[in-house]
Amino acid sequence: MTQPAETKSLRIDGVRVEFEQRNQEGIVAEQAARRLGVPTDAIEEVTVVRESMDARGRPTLVFNVDAKVDAGVVPETLPGGIRSSPGADPAPRQFNPDTDERVVVIGAGPGGLFCAHRLAESGVDTVLLDRGQPVEVRGRDVSALMHRGELKPDSNICFGEGGAGTWSDGKLYTRVSDVRRRHVLETIVDLGGPDEILVKGKPHLGTDRLVRLCKAFRARLKEAGCTVRFGAFVEELLFDETHGERNVVGVRLGDGERIDADRVVLAVGHSAREMYRHLAEAGVAMEPKSFAVGFRVEHRQELINEIQYGRYADIDGLPSAEYRLAANYGEGEHQRGVYSFCMCPGGQIVPSHTLPEGICVNGMSHASRRGHWANSALVVTVDPKDFDTYDEFEGGEQPEGVLAGMAFQHEAERRAYRLGGGGFIAPAQRVTDFKAGRPTKTVRDTTYKPGIVASDLRSCYPSFVIEHLQQALEDFDDKMNGYLCDDALLVGVETRTSAPVRILRDEQDYQSASVRRLYPVGEGAGYGGGIVSSAIDGLRVAERMLEEWTDS
């Protein structure tokens, strides 16, 4: 009787398949065998663990795969980029906490959602509060803002179920190296997300998918016993200082209701300015942090495809091309970065303002990314030393103390509002005019639905922001020939790239540096930079609490 051949499990990186061959049966195994230097029939099974696109030259898919290979033909010395398969990521630890404590989580963005779910599924009494509305109501409020200029301060593109990322491109890639990344993606798939996000090098969901996933996540939370409340604006945190240290003991809502808590998770998002003010007044330890500001730039998607794919742009089925641009100017502590941010292929520019007389824009895409326009933020880093560089703060708010960065954001948004003439009409300028330092007289239609008006955007920011953007546009055009064109528009302003403060916390137990049992989480606290990194941070904080209750 013939014995089955012994196999080795190998991780083979850099398996290349031309995009046009992607649907050819067995092509990945064939190219994996070629990469390893063995016959194709020596590979019994191939599992894709990562897929990315290389658009330099002929568009090519690049795979990392786990392959079961006939051990008899595996070379003694493996080629570079090939090694024994590392195996699956460890499953999330199961906790059985011994506690009757109640945790209040403020904010239903990724950090708050994943933190609340991890706690509730482990049997912890968990209350999730959000100032905004559930996505089905929030969607109507966003539509009213886009089409009629009706702003609801607590239900808009920044506030509500899912957080600021719900109306976005839904990017799921992160530079954070953490085993919890897999848990976040698997949770999304389990809630109805596409399987492809587990292997794509740059996975994304799109707003249409995100809305459905938020509903499913809400149902999962309630099944786990979590109390979920919307329209619950937290006006203040409540403290107890009777035992020699300051502890958080609950929250008070805007309508006066008090909710007692043994611990509070602060996952409020990067635009929770009322909460930042309250924390500053209450003496909670914070520090100003750098962020980036600039404009949205919009090009025809067809042009971006032509620039990125070149003569291969007409290949059937190619995804809408994206780009990432960056430049650094100066040296040492005077170095300043200019870069593209949150690029949305086939997307649209959306109103993300939260002030009645302030304009802030962002970008979003649907899952298909098949719109005719591409947009991205083009932003310049600003540091705390830059926060007082306006010649005059026309809005009257002074850039002082820990909230100086917030005042800087406010000033840019107010100036953009006045420049647009009111009604959330956004000021816009041709990229070529901006580069040349001249006002724009006429503009084409854009995807920003409230509408735009031809303007001179240079008055929105201090001169160093404008000058660095002008310099970067020329350098970016060198990298992407045709990027600096008369048809491209800048729309202002984008100021909410990240939080203007960091709420200080202990590196070991994640509690506030000044208030016990208060846990700052995610992007709004200065510890995340997108959907996945914020979700990971929420999980990390939840698991630290669970460890304490379990180990005790």
Cα–Cα dist 259/484, whole Å: 54
Give the pLDDT band (50/70/90) at residue 2: very low
Which amino acid appears at position 266 of this protein?
A: L
Enumerate the β-bridge partners of residue 337: 328
* Strand order, beta sheet including 258-260: 234-240, 247-253, 258-260
Chain segment 253-267, per-residue pLDDT in tens: 999 999 999 999 999
Q: What stretch of H or E contains 418? A: helix 404-420
Contact 262, 246 (CB under 8 A): no
- Describe the crossing of helices 180-190 and 531-551 by its angle, rounded to 10 degrees: 110
Contact 305, 313 (CB under 8 A): yes
Residue 539, CA distances (Å) to 89, 165, 416 in order? 16, 18, 38
CA pseudo-torsion sign 359, 362, 366, 372: positive
Pick from 174, 132, 170: which is nearest to 153 by CA? 132
Chain segment 213-254, per-residue pLDDT in tens: 999 999 999 999 999 999 999 999 999 987 789 999 999 999
Cα–Cα dist 489/485, whole Å: 9
Contact 33, 43 (CB under 8 A): yes
Average pLDDT, the chain: 95
Tell me which of 11 and 331 has the higher pLDDT.
11
Q: Is residue 1's pLDDT more than 60? A: no
Listed in order, strand segments (DSSP E) in 146-266 are 227-230, 234-240, 247-253, 258-260, 263-266
DSSP code for 98: -
Confidence (pLDDT) at 319: 97
CA pseudo-torsion sign 361, 366, 372, 374: positive
Chain segment 168-208, per-residue pLDDT in tens: 999 998 888 899 999 999 999 999 999 999 999 999 999 99
User: Secondary structure of the chain: what % helix, strand, coil (to 5)?
Assistant: 30, 25, 40
Pick from 525, 180, 173, 156: which is nearest to 342 by CA? 173
Name the least confident of 292-296, 397-401, 461-465, 541-545: 397-401
Phi-psi region of 527 (alpha: psi -120 to 50; beta: other; left: phi over 0): alpha
Phi-psi region of 94 (alpha: psi -120 to 50; beta: other; left: phi over 0): beta
Residue with tokens 């009257």: 396
DSSP code for 159: S
Q: Is residue 395's pLDDT more than 80? A: no
Q: Is residue 299's pLDDT more than 60? A: yes
SS3 231: coil
Chain segment 404-436, per-residue pLDDT in tens: 999 999 999 999 999 999 999 999 999 999 999
- Describe the crossing of helices 531-551 and 110-121 by its angle, rounded to 10 degrees: 30
Backbone angles phi, psi at 80, to 5 degrees: -60, 140
Domains, the chain, ranges and CATH?
7-84 (3.30.70.2700), 102-287+499-551 (3.50.50.60), 291-494 (no CATH)
Chain segment 64-115, per-residue pLDDT in tens: 999 999 999 999 999 999 999 998 888 899 999 999 999 999 999 999 999 9
Distance of CA 511 to the CA centre of its chain: 24
513-521: average pLDDT: 98
Name the least confident of 38-47, 144-153, 314-323, 389-398: 389-398
531-548: average pLDDT: 97
Chain segment 14-72, per-residue pLDDT in tens: 999 999 999 999 999 999 999 999 999 999 999 999 999 999 999 999 999 999 999 99
Residue with tokens 């041709």: 430
Q: What percent of the chain has pLDDT over 90?
A: 93
